[in-house]
């Protein structure tokens, strides 16, 4: 099987496209094997993209986290799939189906954009003491579970330690959550760090997390309800903006996609 090693603003994946007869595998185990940083290709997740229709352009996208669990929403996996479909088939606009949800996608010269659906938003979902200070987390479902804490400086947070603690909170069981730390970074800009469930580590970028951060920051008055630049650990910012037709429940998230290398799986 041919594969791409591809990343969306630092969130990296092993991407398999249009597998045909090779598509019948135990993908959770394959995800664990291929995503292992020392013994596999190495990635945050494994993405399987299948062309369903070319007129209109429709793809079915499945994303398995590095631990083999399935992602119900992964904005950067969708963006990478859209980039690959543009490269392989010439599509500029398409529909991507992930975990039963339809996402719009648009590929431009320097960015790939996909939609994320915003569900329930709960202020002050839980409180954790960080460096002796009680810190509140709001929750926002952007196709997957996220909690967001607004802090003064994301760089002083032990993201791995605190993220792991919050992700495994008993009151969030059995699913757990993705954990985001966010600060204001100027006019219509945020800075974010994210501990991702399923990867069980801090990732360099998280598309659904950027949307969750923007939704919470808008609710908290840090940014206005228009385009927001979300700066991540990769140094490749994502932009989040409300959908023109459905601004209250749908957001666009866009940014760069990089095809790192391609190869054949042994």
Active site residues: 74, 206
* The two three-digit tokens of residue 130, written as one number: 């960080």
Do residues 80 and 9 make contact, with C-beta atoms less than 8 angstroms apart?
no
Strands 189-196 and 45-54 come out as unpaired
**Residue 195, φ and ψ in degrees, nearest 5:** -100, 120
| Pairwise CA distance, residues 99 & 39, whole Å | 29
| Pairwise CA distance, residues 162 & 165, whole Å | 5
The angle, 0 to 180 degrees and rounded to 10, between the axes of the packed helices 75-89 and 207-219 is: 130
Do residues 107 and 83 make contact, with C-beta atoms less than 8 angstroms apart?
yes
What are the Cα distances from residue 227, in Å, to 108, 179, 182, 230, 254? 17, 22, 16, 10, 10
From 232, 238, 263, 231, select the one nearest 253 (Cα to Cα): 238
* The two three-digit tokens of residue 197, written as one number: 């469930």
End-to-end CA distance of the chain: 8
């Amino acid at each position: 099987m041919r594969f791409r090693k591809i990343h969306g603003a630092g969130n990296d994946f092993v991407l398999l496209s249009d597998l045909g007869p090779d598509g019948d595998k135990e993908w959770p185990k394959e995800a664990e094997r291929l995503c292992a940083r020392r013994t596999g290709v190495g990635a945050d997740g494994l993405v399987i993209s299948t062309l369903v229709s070319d007129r209109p352009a429709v793809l079915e996208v499945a994303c398995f986290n590095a631990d083999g669990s399935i992602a119900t929403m992964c904005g950067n996996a969708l963006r990478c799939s859209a980039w690959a479909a543009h490269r392989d088939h010439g599509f500029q606009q398409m529909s991507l189906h992930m975990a039963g949800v339809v996402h719009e996608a648009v590929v431009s010269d320097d960015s790939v954009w996909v939609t994320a659906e915003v569900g329930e938003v709960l202020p002050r979902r839980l409180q954790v003491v960080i460096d002796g200070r009680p810190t509140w987390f709001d929750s926002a479902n952007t196709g997957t579970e996220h909690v967001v804490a607004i802090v003064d400086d994301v760089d002083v947070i032990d993201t791995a330690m605190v993220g792991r603690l919050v992700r495994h909170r008993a009151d969030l069981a059995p699913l757990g959550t993705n954990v985001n730390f966010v600060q204001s970074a100027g006019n219509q800009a945020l800075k974010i760090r994210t501990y991702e469930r399923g990867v069980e580590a801090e990732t360099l970028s998280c598309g659904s997390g950027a949307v969750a951060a923007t939704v919470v920051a808008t609710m908290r008055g840090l940014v206005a309800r228009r385009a927001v630049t979300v700066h991540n650990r990769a140094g490749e910012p994502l932009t989040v903006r409300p959908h023109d037709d459905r601004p209250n429940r749908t957001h666009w998230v866009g940014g760069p996609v990089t095809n790192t290398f391609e190869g054949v799986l042994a």
